[in-house]
Chain A
Amino acid sequence: MGANFKNKNLVNRYIKKKLDIVLLIFIPIIFLWHPNWLGFLGVQPYWPLFWLLPWSIINGPVNGLIFGLFLGLILDSLTLDSNFTQIPGLILCGFWFGRVKLNSNVLVGHFRYGLICSFGSFLCGTIYFLQILFKNFSESSLLLLISSVQNILAEVFLTGFLAPFFCSQLLIFFKYPGRKVQ
């Protein structure tokens, strides 16, 4: 009984300590789940950035770059478009997010997360769109432009809108793994 309790306690402590990695595993699950009620014009927020921003802020640009690559590898394996990749956008975002400094003003910090994630989502969306455009370059590629711009703008809006909430919470989780969120 005592040993069982001790083991359980150890597992709990380990999970709390490694919560960032545990949450990383759940990003592809949310990516697959694609909750429609959280969408806007059928578009979802760009989920990986919510995890990547707090992780990179705490662990620096090199770790951000490495985990951007890891996230890109996982997400690419879940999408069917074998010709296009999300890796360059996520690597750039990971590196850039790592250079962001925490702001002492909590309110300004919240809005900064929104703005940074919006710009990150714009960067990733644009890089992805450019790949599609290069691959399908023809007269009909002009038709792609309207829907793609709509996709990018909807994604930028949603990501920026939800980032203050998700990023602030995750930042607290990652920085103080044992602390209870009120």
Chain B
Amino acid sequence: MLDIRRISSSRWWHKKKNWILLTIFLFLVFIRISKGSIYKDFYYFISKPFWPGQFQKEIILKSIDQESLIKLNLLKSDNNRLRKILSLQESSPDNISAAVISRKTGSWWRQILLNKGSKDGVEIGSTVVGPGGLLGRVKNTSLFTSSVTLLTSPESKVGVWVNRIQINGLLVGLGDDFPSLILYSKDADIKVGDFVSSSPASTLLPPNIPIGFVQSIDEPIKAKKIAKISLLAKPQVIDWVQILKTKI
């Protein structure tokens, strides 16, 4: 009897195509593990000509903004000097201004990509605010960019404070434009129009950052009261944001 032997040339590792596929696979696994930082930095460079602030009107507005910013900084340093004289606590958060270079404000993924990254000192967990108030928190950074999870994302859960009734709650993103405020008290006297800000008890956010207003209140479920919140800061139209570097 003759042994039927496998022909060696049919082994998978003898095919060049399989090696190419394996190399691509390993490269993509590397991208996945590095949270797409290579791709985000590549996008940073190719999207540079399209960043906000490229038109004449915007250049003029930017100059006005810069003037206001310089005045504000002068006033801040004045304020700090006076606070030192009076032996009061300093309140000078070190902020970073950043432009929004990519935004996903619909569908499942609710995130924005900023043009400042670890090179500029952005840290994971930093708070991001825009005109109106809180937008979200930095989830990860690459060398030139940082990705922010918006308050509307299903991954977002932050502690908030309802000022009128002096109660803490949890703001949970649901994947739509109106996150839900969960109050763990059935008898909480929450009303439409109540103002919501970041909680003084939160370990993730600085206190008293405006967030939004109560838009509607649902029927209580078990011991919980749930309300829809209309956010003050609209991520779908904001072009510039501030990354707060304050230590909580």
Contacts and interface: CB of A to CB of B under 8 A. Distances in A.
Interface of A: 28-29, 32-34, 36, 39, 41-44, 66, 69-70, 73-74, 76-81, 83-84, 128-129, 132, 136, 139-140, 143-144, 146-148, 150-151, 154-155
A78 B153 contact: no
Contacts of B206: none
Contact of A32 (B32, B102, B107, B139): B102
Contacts of A33: 43, 47, 102
11 contacts: A32-B40, A33-B43, A34-B103, A42-B107, A74-B39, A77-B32, A78-B40, A81-B108, A81-B155, A132-B154, A144-B175
A42 B32 contact: no
Interface string B120-148: 00000000000000000001100000010
Interface of B: 21, 24-25, 28-29, 31-32, 34-36, 39-40, 42-43, 46-47, 102-109, 111, 113, 139-140, 147, 149, 153-155, 172, 174-177, 180, 182, 221-222, 224, 226, 236
A140 B180 contact: yes
Nearest to B103: A34
B135 to A, nearest CB: 14
Contacts of A36: 236
A31 to B, nearest CB: 8
Contacts of B182: 140
Main SS class of interface, B: mixed
B155 A80 contact: yes
A148 B35 CA distance: 25
B226 A79 contact: no
A80 B221 contact: no
B147 A80 contact: yes
Main SS class of interface, A: helix
A83 B155 contact: yes
B35 A42 contact: no
A80 B32 contact: no
A158 to B, nearest CB: 10
Contacts of A73: 25, 28-29, 31-32
Contacts of B226: 140, 143
Contact of B113 (A32, A132, A148): A32
A28 B28 CA distance: 12
A74 B28 contact: yes
Given A42-B105, A80-B109, A150-B176, A144 B154 contact: yes
A75 B82 CA distance: 51
Given A44-B106, A70-B25, A78 B39 contact: yes
Contact of A78 (B36, B172, B176): B36
A42 to B, nearest CB: 3
Given A33-B102, A83-B155, A74 B236 contact: no
Contact of A74 (B31, B106, B172, B175): B31
A112 to B, nearest CB: 25
A29 B46 contact: yes
A81 B34 contact: no
A155 B47 CA distance: 25
Given A28-B39, A42-B236, A70-B25, 5 more contacts: A41-B106, A77-B32, A81-B109, A151-B108, A155-B107
